[in-house]
Amino acid sequence: MSYETLTYAVDDRVARITFNRPERMNAFNLKLCSEIMAAIAQADADPEVRVLLVTGAGGKAFSAGYDIKETASGGPKRGESGWRDRLGKDLKFCYSPWECSKPVIAVIDGFCLAGALEFAQMCDIRYCSDDSKFGVLETRFAAGIVTMVMPWILGPASRELIFTGDTIDAKEAERVGLVTRAYPKATLHDETLKIAKRMSRVAIECLTWNKRALNRGAEAMGFRTSLDIGFDACVQLDNSIAPEYQMFDKLRREKGLGEAIKWRDAQFAKYE
């Protein structure tokens, strides 16, 4: 299968899926989301694959999140009847690594923000480079969190990150447990491939049944119900059209995304 917005390769039982929109910091547009889901399904169905790696091209970003330039230029908008269905597609997308029967490892090199952080947290394991940055940036322009998975990973530590929208570095992400390990940038991909290949030596039955047990255990404790509640809150927040979002949206449509981000950052600069 050929792809337009990502590359796909298999090497010794390990499938590597690389988001390939570096000029947009690998932002998730509809095409990329669709192709990521297809690539994960392809690897899941391939008997020669036991472990999946997902990463971003360019060395600057795993992904900057959902492509808000795309949402500004077409499709349903916040407050419109089709918005819930639009967000539902994002939630389905984020579930794709969770629902893959095989281990999925997020290899994060650079920025991992907003919707990309949601996706990465739905992977089984996260490793990062020592210059990586993480943030729930949607908070800072009054947008909801489509996939409220962070409390399941960080527990109470998630509240500060969600309420402030602060960006944290690799050292802090490792300290709070957002990533399992941070590596020097130059060795990140070699080290994580070594782990993936070591993992792939485990019997496929062992990998898949252990993942099933881990996921079903979380779901028995209410994982999916919790994410459904978070999704409903996201839809309600987005449809409320907060004044902060109205200003951000007005600026990005009239003056461009750069001006909107400059305005947003200025609201927090005094207190950083």
Q: Which residues are catalytic?
A: 118, 138
Q: How deeply is 126 buried, as exposed, middle or buried, from its count of CB atoms within 10 A (0-12, 13-18, 19+)?
A: buried
Q: How deeply is 36 buried, as exposed, middle or buried, from its count of CB atoms within 10 A (0-12, 13-18, 19+)?
A: buried
Q: What are phi and psi of 203, to 5 degrees?
A: -55, 135
Crossing angle of the two packed helices 223-240 and 204-220, in degrees rounded to 10? 60
Crossing angle of the two packed helices 30-45 and 83-99, in degrees rounded to 10? 30
Answer whether 56's CB lies under 8 Å from 62's CB.
Answer: yes
Closest C-alpha among 64, 68, 252 to residue 167: 64
Instruction: Locate 28 and state its tokens.
Output: 């998730």
Q: Are strands 133-135 and 111-113 parallel, antiparallel or unpaired?
A: parallel
58, 115, 234 from 147: Cα distances, Å: 26, 8, 9
Nearest-angstrom CA–CA distance, 163 and 136: 9
Answer whether 220's CB lies under 8 Å from 125's CB.
Answer: no
